[in-house]
Chain A
Amino acid sequence: MDLTLKIWRQANVDEDGKIVNYSISDVSPDMSFLEMMDMHNEQLINKGEDPVAFDHDCREGICGMCSMFINGEAHGPDRLVTTCQLHMRKFKDGDTIVIEPFRANAFPVIKDLAVDRSAFDRIQQAGGFISVNTSGNTQDANAIPIEKHDADKAFDAATCIGCGACVASCKNASAMLFVSAKVSQYSLLPQGKVEATDRVLNMVKQMDEEGFGNCTNTGACEVECPKGISLENVARMNSEYLYASLKG
Chain B
Amino acid sequence: MKLNKVKIRYRKNSNGTTSIRLNYFGGYSYENGIKKALRLIRTLPDHLITNPNTEKDKLKNIHLKEQALIIASDWEKNLLLKKNESSFKKNNFFSNLNSKIPDGPLADKWTNHKSKINLVSPANKRSIDIIVVGTGLAGASASATLAELGYNVKTFCFQDSPRRAHSIAAQGGINAAKNYQGDGDSTYRLFYDTIKGGDYRSREANVYRLAEVSTNIIDQCVAQGVPFARDYGGLLDNRSFGGVLVSRTFYAKGQTGQQLLLGAYSAMNRQIARGKIKMYNRHEMMDLVLVNGKARGIIARNLVNGEIERHSAHAVVIASGGYGNVFFLSTNAMGSNVSASWKIHKRGAHFCNPCYTQIHPTCIPVSGEHQSKLTLMSESLRNDGRIWVPKKLEDVKAIKSGELKPTDLNENDRDYYLERRYPAFGNLVPRDVASRAAKERCDAGFGVNKTGEAVYLDFAAAITRYGKEQALVKGQDENDPILVKKLGQEVVRAKYGNLFQMYEKIVDQNPYETPMMIYPAVHYTMGGVWVDYNLMTSIPGCYAIGEANFSDHGANRLGASALMQGLADGYFVLPYTIGDYLSDDIRTGPISTDTPEFESAEKEVKNRIDSLINNKGKNSVDFYHKKLGKIMWDKCGMSRNTKGLKEAMIEIKKLREDFYKNVSVPGSSSEFNEQLAKAGRVADFLELGELFAKDALERTESCGGHFREESQTPEGEALRDDKNFSFSSAWEYNGEPSKAKLHKEQLKFEAIEVKTRSYK
Residues of A in contact with B (beta carbons under 8 Å apart): 11-12, 28, 30-32, 34-35, 38-39, 42, 44-46, 48-51, 53, 55-65, 78, 80-81, 85, 87, 89, 110-111, 114, 116-118, 120-121, 124-126, 128-136, 138-142, 145-148, 151-152, 154-155, 158-159, 161-162, 185-186, 189, 191-192
Does the CB pair B666–A151 fall under 8 Å? no
B 308-342 binary contact with A (CB < 8 Å = 1; else 0)? 00000000000000000000000101110000000
24 interchain pairs (CB within 8 A)? A31-B368, A42-B620, A45-B666, A45-B675, A46-B620, A50-B667, A57-B166, A58-B164, A58-B166, A59-B334, A63-B165, A63-B168, A64-B163, A87-B508, A121-B279, A129-B267, A129-B270, A134-B141, A135-B148, A138-B219, A141-B218, A141-B236, A148-B230, A189-B225
Chain B residues whose CB sits within 8 angstroms of the CB of A151 once the complex forms: 227-230, 234
In the assembled complex, how far is the CB of residue B322 from the closest CB belonging to chain A, in whole angstroms? 14
In the assembled complex, how far is the CB of residue A227 from the closest CB belonging to chain B, in whole angstroms? 9
Does the CB pair A139–B223 fall under 8 Å? yes
Does the CB pair B368–A134 fall under 8 Å? no
Chain B residues whose CB sits within 8 angstroms of the CB of A31 once the complex forms: 368, 370
B437 close to chain A: CB less than 8 A: no
In the assembled complex, how far is the CB of residue B535 from the closest CB belonging to chain A, in whole angstroms? 17
Does the CB pair A155–B252 fall under 8 Å? yes
Does the CB pair A134–B234 fall under 8 Å? no
**Size bracket, chain B contacts:** 35 or more
Complex: chain A residue closest to B180, CB-CB: A142
- Which of the residues A48, A87, A129, A138 comes within 8 Å of B269, measured between beta carbons? A129
B641 close to chain A: CB less than 8 A: no
Residue of B227, B370, B622 with most chain A CB atoms under a 10 A cut-off? B227
B144 close to chain A: CB less than 8 A: yes
Complex: chain B residue closest to A38, CB-CB: B372
Does the CB pair A85–B505 fall under 8 Å? yes
- Which of the residues A65, A124, A192 comes within 8 Å of B225, measured between beta carbons? A192
B45 close to chain A: CB less than 8 A: no
Chain A residues whose CB sits within 8 angstroms of the CB of B141 once the complex forms: 134
- Which of the residues A61, A118, A142, A192 comes within 8 Å of B502, measured between beta carbons? A61
Does the CB pair A57–B666 fall under 8 Å? no
Chain B residues whose CB sits within 8 angstroms of the CB of A189 once the complex forms: 225, 227
Complex: chain A residue closest to B672, CB-CB: A111
- Other than the given A58-B334, A61-B505, A87-B506, 16 more pairs (CB < 8 A) read A30-B367, A30-B368, A31-B370, A38-B622, A46-B620, A50-B666, A51-B666, A51-B674, A53-B672, A58-B166, A61-B502, A130-B225, A134-B148, A141-B178, A141-B221, A185-B227
Would you list the 9 A-B pairs with minimal beta carbon distance, nearest first? A145-B234, A136-B216, A129-B266, A155-B227, A138-B223, A141-B222, A111-B672, A154-B227, A57-B333
Does the CB pair B370–A39 fall under 8 Å? yes
- Which of the residues A56, A131, A141 comes within 8 Å of B270, measured between beta carbons? A131
Does the CB pair B334–A56 fall under 8 Å? yes
A140 to B235 alpha-carbon distance, docked (Å): 11
A219 to B235 alpha-carbon distance, docked (Å): 35
A98 to B217 alpha-carbon distance, docked (Å): 46
B281 close to chain A: CB less than 8 A: yes
A49 to B675 alpha-carbon distance, docked (Å): 12
Chain A residues whose CB sits within 8 angstroms of the CB of B622 once the complex forms: 38, 42
In the assembled complex, how far is the CB of residue A60 from the closest CB belonging to chain B, in whole angstroms? 5
B272 close to chain A: CB less than 8 A: yes
A131 to B269 alpha-carbon distance, docked (Å): 10
B 232-262 binary contact with A (CB < 8 Å = 1; else 0)? 1111100000000000000011010011001
- Which of the residues B225, B253, B371 comes within 8 Å of A191, measured between beta carbons? B225
Complex: chain B residue closest to A118, CB-CB: B281
